Amino acid sequence: MVDLAEAGKIARVEVGSLVVYVITDFELLHRVLVESSADYERGLLFERIRLIFGDSLIVADGQRHNDIRRLLQPAFHRASLASYAPVMRRNADALASSWQPGQIVEARAAMLEVVIANLLGSMFSHEPDSEEIQLISGLIEDIGAGVMVGSVLPKRLANLPLPVNRKFFAAGTRLRDYCRELLVARRAGGERRNDLIDILLDSSEEAGHDDEFLVAQAMTVLFGGTDASTAALTWALYELSQHPEVASKLRQEISAAGDLGPNDLDELDYLNRFLNEVVRTHSALLQTRRSVTTVELDGFTIPAGTDIGYSLTAIHRNPDVFAEPDVFDPDRWPTSNSGSKCRSFIPFSMGKQMCIGNNFAWVELQTTLYSLLSKWEFLPTTNKKLPRALGPIPVPGKLPLEVRPVAG
């Protein structure tokens, strides 16, 4: 994806019989996602997702997307985030307290579990047991792999009973059943928690939404809120294990700040610059749109129905914007109070496609790392290249790290 920029601002890529035009230039991408967004629809990846998510935010376009987003937005307001932060802090503290000095922890699995617990505890007011977390972990992974593989398979293969397809559809069915059970239980209990489930149930009374619609939105939040945050936290721990000088600087900042509340973590300037660098370096590999009318891009006429791809990874590794883009360097980012922003830095996408949970995710990253780094150092256990797991953001399939107590 990064090397495609050498072919030009738009690169024609063939995957078997499938042709995708990949945008490698930020200004062209801004035109597609922001300036002329009405000329495009979701596209290739989302056709696959629609098979199990149905009428949900993650696949809706146009006015339908706007309506669903408006419905769900209160769950992500600042006041709601303030109530979620203690849940995240509690889960991170519990994880940190469960480790022993010198223990080898499988970091990706641990991050996946804490992210799922955060989502269920905050958005759904539900405290999952370990069996539930393991169930959801497996379902999320099977859906993510099925989306990526199924999107590039020829149509004649996409629905055949291949193992990846069977797992994809089975996981979608089971996740749907799980979310339906949560909704039904809340309705039967009659409790008010002022969370996502209450918002959905209220909408069924006010706007006449049926349960299948409500379940689809719950699935979207649970799936969409898991993969990216898990990837970011996993890569954060990896980078800390590879860059002890960065880890030392972070620990010093956290130690000097004292016992901060979960709503005060914006004060940790270096932590936020570190997180900027994590999500710059490890971004979504491929996202898609599709032209709904004939459009002009960079002098080319692109007919309606053309599949268009773009890679945030490639945008964030453009050497014309980010000097030495393959070097992990939190100090490339200005301090938080400088007011300086990089227009080409879009870890949560932009325009109407910007992730609805971007602020939720950032609070989660801050809170989890603050808690873990207050207690532990992370050391690598191998120099071998780690195999990657399938998913929207490439991530190590497993990340074994040794934990050692923070001195003092």
Numbered residues of the known binding site:
355
CA dist 239 → 29, 99, 275, 374, 401 (Å): 29, 20, 10, 17, 11
- 3-class secondary-structure state, position 401: strand
Paired residues of 295 in beta bridges: 302
- Compute the radius of gyration of the chain from its Cα atoms: 21
- 3-class secondary-structure state, position 378: strand
Token pair 């920029």: residue: 5
Evaluate whether 220 touches 57 at the Cβ level (below 8 Å). Answer: yes
For residues 53 and 51, what is the distance between their CA atoms, to the nearest angstrom? 6
Evaluate whether 64 touches 58 at the Cβ level (below 8 Å). Answer: no
Count CA within 13 A, CB hemisphere, residue 101. 3
- Return binding residues for heme: 355
**Which token pair is 367?**
């809170």
Paired residues of 11 in beta bridges: 22
- 3-class secondary-structure state, position 404: strand
Evaluate whether 393 touches 231 at the Cβ level (below 8 Å). Answer: yes
Dump the DSSP string for 226-293: HHHHHHHHHHHHHHHHH-HHHHHHHHHHHHHH-S--TT-GGG-HHHHHHHHHHHHHS--S-EEEEESS
**Which token pair is 255?**
């130690």
Evaluate whether 357 touches 221 at the Cβ level (below 8 Å). Answer: yes
Evaluate whether 299 touches 12 at the Cβ level (below 8 Å). Answer: no
- Residue 145 CA, chain-centre distance (Å), reads 14
Burial class, 180, CB count within 10 angstroms (exposed 0-12 / middle 13-18 / buried 19+):
middle
Burial class, 36, CB count within 10 angstroms (exposed 0-12 / middle 13-18 / buried 19+):
middle
**Which token pair is 211?**
């349960």
